[in-house]
């Protein structure tokens, strides 16, 4: 049987302050965190299932945890995670991720928000929590997150989340909510590049960029220096074609000078045909990158992946939207625990199973669970 040491996991959480009264605790904080992480890896979704997993695997945990008073109860897990500092917990998570990922390996960072829909508490007038996530699109790993009061506050949360990340040499992609001059400037000052979606919130700039491309289209893209890339997919009765044009000839766009580092503008045409129904959409972006159509296409496309590779997986494989943990702090910490488990499962290359089935396998196969835990050691 593969053995495990937990020193590396304990080291990751070494800066996490125990919020409980010293001398009145029956269970160590590290024991609680490690059991909760293992339970999350193996399919648990709430405090009851985490505690039940712990009791079912008590002999397993006794091999490497102290457990002076046995397995904690569901109330203990709920109480501790409602008291832990989300900021400190997320800081520990990021420190682990920074060791897990060599910064040379990921170059694309998508920033986008997700609401945990059933975390609301109507009786107390508490809305569901909304979390802004940082996701490495080329490695499929979560880099960090930050809770906001609601979706409208993403503008204030994004700069704080960016400040916590290593952006040097990376391209940061954000949807129209984050298309702000101050955010663009911050990314440049942190030695990164940006690709920001344009919509009505930047009315004059959005209109100027759209007019720029309309004129170019009328001229057959002949009178301006352009780069172009096209990608098509077919299958299962669906046909999709995406075409991207970009240019760094910005003299006619007066607003461009107000954006630090702005170097190119982008138009993406998305054609989609399902059965006999056809749709055609146009999206516009600004970027600090050079006008390299393939590079920019990859950045835009990887941003779309945050929905399928992170938000959808959290809902389908971890049932996040169904979670009824209402305490805002506990809900935020539990969301981070899911992402911790997701990163570990994503790093595992020993099986070709999907995330949901990897969780089932971890619950059934202790050697596999041990291998997942040992992968923590970086």
User: Does some domain include residue 342?
Assistant: no
186 and 43 in a single domain? The answer is: no
**Per residue in 279-304, pLDDT tens?**
999 999 999 999 999 999 999 999 98
For the stretch 293-303, what's the b/e string if a residue is b when 16 or more beta carbons lie within 10 angstroms of its beta carbon? bebbbbbbbbb
pTM of the model: 0.90
pLDDT in the model for residue 378: 47
Q: Do residues 65 and 168 both lie within one domain? A: no
> 293 and 367 share a domain?
no
Are 231 and 285 members of one domain? yes
Q: Are both 133 and 177 inside the same structural domain?
A: yes
- Tell me, yes or no, whether 113 and 199 share the same domain: yes
Asked if 136 and 33 sit in the same domain, the reply is no
Tally of domains within the chain: 2
Are residues 312 and 190 part of one domain? yes
Residue range 173-195, pLDDT digits in tens: 999 989 999 999 999 999 999 99
Last residue of a domain, one of 316, 331, 357: 316
Answer yes or no: is 321 within a domain. Answer: no
Q: Distance between CA atoms of 183 and 196, rounded to whole angstroms?
A: 10
Can you give the residue range of the structural domain that contains 181? Answer: 94-316
Give residue-wise pLDDT tens across range 107-151: 899 999 998 887 877 777 777 889 999 999 888 899 999 998 766
Q: What angle do CA 111, 114, 117 make, to 5 degrees?
A: 175
Ordered strands of the 193-198 beta sheet? 141-148, 130-136, 108-115, 171-174, 193-198, 277-287, 264-274, 238-247, 227-235
pLDDT band of 4, cuts 50, 70, 90: low
Which DSSP letter does residue 1 get? -
Q: Is residue 329 part of a domain?
A: no
Q: What is the pLDDT of residue 48?
A: 96
Q: What is the pLDDT of residue 120?
A: 75
pLDDT at site 201: 78
> Any idea what the CATH number is for the domain that residue 268 is in?
3.90.350
> Using 50, 70 and 90 to split pLDDT, how confident is the model at 105?
low
Whether 338 maps to a domain, the answer reads: no
- Does residue 274 surpass a pLDDT of 90? no
Mean pLDDT confidence for 197-209: 90
Q: Tell me whether residue 145 is in a domain.
A: yes
Question: What is the band of 103 on the pLDDT scale with cuts at 50, 70, 90?
Answer: very low
Asked whether residue 339 is assigned to any structural domain, the reply reads no
Tens-place pLDDT, residues 205-260: 999 999 999 999 898 888 788 999 999 988 777 899 999 999 999 999 999 999 99
Top-confidence range, 21-35, 65-79, 322-336: 65-79
Residues 77 and 123 in one domain: no
Q: What is the DSSP letter of 3?
A: -
């Amino acid at each position: 049987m593969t053995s495990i040491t937990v020193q590396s996991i304990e080291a990751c959480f070494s800066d996490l302050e125990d919020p409980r009264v010293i001398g009145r605790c029956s269970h160590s904080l590290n024991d609680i965190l490690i059991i909760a992480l293992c339970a999350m890896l193996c399919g648990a979704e709430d405090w009851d299932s985490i505690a039940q997993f712990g009791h079912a695997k008590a002999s397993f945990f006794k091999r490497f945890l102290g457990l002076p008073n046995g397995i904690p109860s569901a109330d203990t897990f709920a109480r501790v995670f409602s008291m832990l500092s989300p900021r400190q917990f997320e800081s520990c998570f990021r420190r682990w991720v920074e060791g897990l990922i060599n910064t040379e390996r990921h170059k694309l960072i998508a920033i986008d928000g997700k609401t945990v829909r059933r975390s609301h508490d109507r009786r107390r007038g508490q809305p569901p929590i909304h979390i802004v996530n940082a996701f490495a699109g080329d490695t499929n790993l979560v880099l960090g997150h930050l809770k906001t009061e609601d979706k409208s506050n993403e503008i204030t949360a994004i700069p704080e989340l960016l400040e916590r990340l290593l952006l040097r040499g990376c391209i940061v992609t954000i949807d129209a909510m984050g298309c702000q001059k101050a955010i663009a400037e911050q990314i440049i000052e942190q030695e990164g590049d940006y690709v920001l979606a344009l919509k009505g919130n930047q009315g004059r700039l959005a209109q100027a960029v759209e007019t720029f491309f309309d004129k170019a289209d009328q001229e057959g893209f002949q009178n301006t220096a352009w780069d172009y890339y096209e990608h098509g997919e077919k299958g299962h009765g669906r046909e999709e074609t995406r075409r991207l044009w970009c240019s760094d000839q910005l003299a006619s766009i007066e607003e461009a000078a107000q954006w630090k580092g702005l170097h190119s503008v982008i138009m993406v045409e998305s054609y989609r045909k399902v059965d006999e129904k056809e749709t055609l959409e146009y999206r516009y972006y600004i970027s600090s990158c050079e006008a390299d159509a393939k590079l920019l296409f990859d950045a835009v496309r990887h941003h779309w992946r945050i929905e399928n590779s992170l938000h959808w997986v959290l809902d389908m494989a971890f049932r996040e939207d169904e979670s009824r943990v209402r305490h805002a702090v506990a809900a935020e910490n539990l969301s981070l625990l899911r992402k911790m488990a997701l990163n570990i499962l994503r790093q595992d290359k020993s099986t070709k199973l999907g995330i949901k089935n990897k969780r089932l396998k971890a619950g059934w196969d202790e050697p596999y669970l041990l291998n997942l835990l040992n992968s923590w050691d970086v």
